[in-house]
Amino acid sequence: MGLGLSALAQSASPAEEAAFRHAQTTGLFSDYEAYLAQYPNGAFVDAARFDMQWALKSTEAAGAQTGITFETPLISDNPAVNGKSIAELIQGTPLYSPIEGLPEALWKEAACSNCHGWTKEALCEQGMVYTGIQQSKSLTKEHPYGGALKAALRTFAVEGCR
């Protein structure tokens, strides 16, 4: 996408920008479809199509799970995530080094929350990043728990970080 989203927003009507931002906030495939149906030649078409790919994958992986709280058991095809809550996952140990080449002594058997300073409040803030205009870039970064945790954090944030 040659232009940044803020530059594209300048060429979009307020209604179009609101429709696109709504789709990004919900992250629902159907909301991106609605945006594209209403604005097939819109300013955010490329971004919407890119985001739709992630939305479809995360919807399939999370089984369109809603009602996610800090303590809700998550549904995922990733066995490291399935059946565990966000609270449990942040107390778990990374599946692989968070930084390539980092000696195992520094991360193996350490809780993820030790390295990241994860708390319920911090994860709420992180989840809000996944709802913003730059969410696609954040959501595609590799994570030991895969997209399932990121999708859960996004839903957790959108639903009020309960």
DSSP calls for 69-130: -TTPPP--SSTTTTT--HHHHTTSPPSS-SSTT--GGGTTT--HHHHH---HHHHHHHHHHT
Provide the domain limits for residue 38: 1-64
In this predicted structure, the answer to whether residue 2 has a pLDDT above a threshold of 50 is no
In this predicted structure, the answer to whether residue 105 has a pLDDT above a threshold of 70 is yes
| Residues in CB range of 89: below 8 A, 6 or more apart | 74, 81, 112, 145, 149
Residue 45 and residue 59 in one domain: yes
Residue 27, CB half-sphere, CA atoms under 13 Å: how many? 32
Residue 141: the pLDDT is 57
| 44: three-class secondary structure by DSSP | coil
CB of 152 within 8 A of CB of 68?
yes
Residue 75 and residue 151 in one domain: yes
Last residue of a domain, one of 64, 89, 119: 64
| Residues in CB range of 30: below 8 A, 6 or more apart | none
Residue 108: the pLDDT is 77
Domain count, the chain: 2
Residue 56: the pLDDT is 59
Residue 72 and residue 55 in one domain: no
Last residue of a domain, one of 10, 45, 64: 64
Last residue of a domain, one of 39, 64, 89: 64
Residue 73 and residue 50 in one domain: no
Render pLDDT for 73-86 as a digit per residue (tens, 0 to 9). Answer: 988 777 888 899 99
In this predicted structure, the answer to whether residue 37 has a pLDDT above a threshold of 90 is yes
